[in-house]
Structure 1
Amino acid sequence: MDPNLSFEELLTGVSFASAGSGFDPLTPLISGVFPIPKQMEYFRECKKRLESVIGKQRTEEHIKKAVFFISAGTNDFVVNYFTIPIRRRSYTTLSYHHFLMQHIKQFIQDLWSEGARNIAVAGLPPMGCLPVVITINSENAFLQRECIEKFSSAARDYNLILQNELHFMQTNLSNSRAKLTYIDTYGPLAYMIQGQGKFGFDKVDCGCCGSGYIEASFLCNGNSYVCSNASKYVFFDSIHPTEMAYYTMFKASRATIDHIINH
């Protein structure tokens, strides 16, 4: 959305993400952000811009070689399903998983139709261990901070279904040289939380910003208290990991990412 985005930046990689969005069309409405189909529209606009500079054939080749990374879904559960009762009136947790899968598959299909051939899809993290989830769903959140199993269990079930769906889609797209890859975020983040000292983390159940229990988005701003060493925390605010935690997750997924890029 940067009006000063240069062609060189567009050519080397951009993010279409909108914080607070999700696969469920209701989720971005709750947060007042761009829905994923709108992000798809912006990608098509960027594709046209590429074509205007390097031509249609070179653009198609460029897109075929590019890696498309999709990471969404947490907000569908934390902001939407488990917080607001609208979807729970119509969907069990399992049927909601499948509802989301239909939107994920459509999004992947749309990317494939636009020429994308290397698509990586991140699974859900252990949502029950997010500081904000612990705070909101614990009887005494400031004294006893333990992961909320209901949320983490939903993430594990979702990840299994997602992997099966990606495998099925990969089989159906085998003749198109498309490569759909699952990126595990649950395992690496859970390992960091469970074995905090092993990875050099002192704090795993609260964030570095503010009280660390509930602040995120505009509640975590330039005037907020920030811990002296964020690298000692798994979470920066009550939802998002720190740079160090992300780097540790990246290292855990490095072999998978290298395989996508080099094959």
Structure 2
Amino acid sequence: MASVVKQMVKNVARIHALGVKKIAVSGLQPVGCLPKTTALSSFSQCNSTFNDFATSHNNLLRRGLVKLKQQETNNDNSSIVILDLYDSFMSVLNHPSSYKIKNHFKPCCVGLSSQYACGSVDDKSMVKKYRVCNDPKSAFFWDLVHPTQSGWHAVYSNLRATSNVLQQLH
């Protein structure tokens, strides 16, 4: 994990050295809340071990970027911000009804059996081997790892309302 974060910070420094003045870096979302992980609990709760990993990654990233900002204090009106996806995801997942989300852990699109995934089609018959929920707008996740459009809208709305980082990019 440390080597990944170190490389991310190096990449941000390179981008800044190329003259980019405003850079947004996203932290990890709570990966323990992805349906791929919550399936183990019948989509009822997040996995704290995976979420602890994401939190550790985000803390390392934050420290690395703070150190980078301190090193690059050349008053060029540059801005490096972290988009705190973790807290925004958790806010939506902990208060889904505030965002008109009914299904916050269960994916909308799933395979018909464990051998199929969202979007699977039988090679011979070309019959789809997945099903889509009746109301995708009320689901937070589209498949095992991707939020729906409504899910991303809720995350963005929360991020925008609770943080000033987006204003720093203007």
Is this a same-fold pair by TM over 0.5?
Answer: yes
The reply on whether 1:225 has 2:124 as its aligned counterpart is: no
Rounded to whole Å, the distance in 2 between the matches of 1:258 and 1:114 is: 23
Q: Which has the higher contact order (CA 8 A, sep 6+)?
A: 2
Corresponding position of 2:70 = 171
Where 1:180 maps in the other structure, the secondary structure is strand
Corresponding position of 1:128 = 32
Instruction: Pick the aligned partner of 2:110 from 205, 210, 224.
Output: 210
Corresponding position of 2:123 = none
Map 1:76-225 onto structure 2 (within 5 A): 96=1, 98-135=2-39, 138=40, 141-142=41-42, 145-175=44-74, 176-211=76-111, 219-221=117-119, 223=128, 224-225=130-131
Gaps of 5+ in 2: 121-127
Where 1:106 maps in the other structure, the secondary structure is helix
Cα contact 1:234–1:241 (8 A) shared by 2: yes
Cα contact 2:6–2:64 (8 A) shared by 1: no
Deviation at 1:212, TM superposition (A): 9.6
Corresponding position of 1:235 = 141
User: What do the CA deviations read for 1:80-104 (whole angstroms, capped 9, x no partner)?
Assistant: xxxxxxxxxxxxxxxx2x2111110
Rounded to whole Å, the distance in 1 between the matches of 2:11 and 2:113 is: 34
Q: 1:157 to 1:212 in 2, by over 3 A?
A: farther
Deviation at 1:248, TM superposition (A): 1.6
Where 1:156 maps in the other structure, the secondary structure is helix
Identity level (%): 20
Gaps of 5+ in 1: 1-95
Where 2:169 maps in the other structure, the secondary structure is helix
Rounded to whole Å, the distance in 1 between the matches of 2:112 and 2:166 is: 31
Equivalences, count = 158
Rounded to whole Å, the distance in 2 between the matches of 1:155 and 1:200 is: 26
Instruction: Pick the aligned partner of 1:256 from 148, 165, 170.
Output: 165
Cα contact 2:111–2:118 (8 A) shared by 1: no
Cα contact 1:132–1:213 (8 A) shared by 2: no
Rounded to whole Å, the distance in 1 between the matches of 2:48 and 2:150 is: 25
Rounded to whole Å, the distance in 1 between the matches of 2:113 and 2:24 is: 31
Where 1:121 maps in the other structure, the secondary structure is strand
- Name the aligned partner's letter for residue 235 of structure 1: F
Deviation at 1:122, TM superposition (A): 0.7
